Amino acid sequence: MLAARGTWGLSDTRNNKNNWQTGTAPMFNAPPAVLAMIGVLVAVHVALQFAGESWQAWTLQAFALIPARFTKPGFPMPAGSEYWSLITYGFLHADWMHLTFNCLWLLVFGTPVARYLGNPRFLLLSAIATVAGGLASLALHWGTVVFVLGASAAVSGLLAAAIPIMYGRRVAGGWRPLGPVELLQSRKALLFMGIWLVVTLASGATGWTGNSFVADSGIAWEAHLGGFLGGLAAFYALARRAVQSL
């Protein structure tokens, strides 16, 4: 399959089913991985609503990210949960508003990323961003007893990955994302990232976008930042492989 390469070496191909430009109605024609992720998040939240308080408490204890797991001997938790919770916390949400915000932004920013990378790499990028957000939360809240939860880190990583795509450049035969240097030289991309950073820090201070910390009802803004950086790095690593495999 022919590919039109730009200065960075990334490109879309004609008739590529994973091309982020494929389809005319993103909201109603989202890639399967995006719809599946939203479905899983909703299903988990609905199941816990019907499970009752005892199951909800156990789920938080077993699957939420709790920094105290790593430092307090005898902390009540399933063995190994300090490790798997770096992923599983992303499947839990504090309330319906928290879930709704994350699902909407997942649909918006996950769609172009999944179309460009393909479903498997989209899921891998989401997992990397989730872990990166969890590690950032651990670094700033080491040893504290708070329950970090929500898909916000994954969403932030997908938003970061969508920026080079949204502000990409036309080349012969298609469209390519901005390379790392081009991204830093793009005023529009930098403005978008600046606005996102301000909104993230403001929401972290006021809590108006939903809860990411169960203990004190705050926004885990550090998880957002960690997910953003992890998602951006993962995009540039995975995008090269996506093009090479065409």
CATH number at residue 210: 1.20.1540.10
Domain that holds residue 149: 32-244
- The answer to whether residue 143 sits within a structural domain is yes
pLDDT of residue 131: 96
As a whole number, mean pLDDT of residues 147-154 equals 90
- The answer to whether residue 6 sits within a structural domain is no
pLDDT of residue 203: 65
- The answer to whether residue 228 sits within a structural domain is yes
- The answer to whether residue 93 sits within a structural domain is yes
Over residues 103-129, the pLDDT tens digits come to 999 999 999 999 999 999 999 999 999
pLDDT of residue 181: 92
* CA angle 61–67–71, rounded 5-degree value: 105
pLDDT tier at 246, thresholds 50, 70, 90? very low
pLDDT of residue 98: 87
Contact 241, 125 (CB under 8 A): no
- The answer to whether residue 18 sits within a structural domain is no
As a whole number, mean pLDDT of residues 139-157 equals 88
pLDDT tier at 29, thresholds 50, 70, 90? confident
pLDDT of 170 over the 90 cut: no
- The answer to whether residue 4 sits within a structural domain is no
Rounded to 10 deg, the angle between the 119-140 and 96-117 helix axes is: 130
Structural domains in the chain (count):
1
Over residues 190-210, the pLDDT tens digits come to 999 999 888 877 765 444 444
What per-residue string of b and e applies to 17-49 under the rule 16 or more CB within 10 Å gives b? ebbbeeeeebeeebbebbbebbeebeebbeebe
pLDDT of residue 201: 74
- The answer to whether residue 10 sits within a structural domain is no
pLDDT of residue 242: 54
Contact 44, 91 (CB under 8 A): yes
pLDDT of 23 over the 60 cut: no
Average pLDDT over all residues of the chain: 80
Rounded to 10 deg, the angle between the 152-166 and 96-117 helix axes is: 40
The structure tokens listed for 47 are: 């199941």
pLDDT of residue 7: 44
Over residues 54-102, the pLDDT tens digits come to 888 888 888 988 888 888 777 777 777 778 889 999 999 988 988 998 9
Residue of 81 and 157 predicted with greater confidence: 157
- The answer to whether residue 109 sits within a structural domain is yes
Residue of 36 and 1 predicted with greater confidence: 36
pLDDT of residue 108: 94
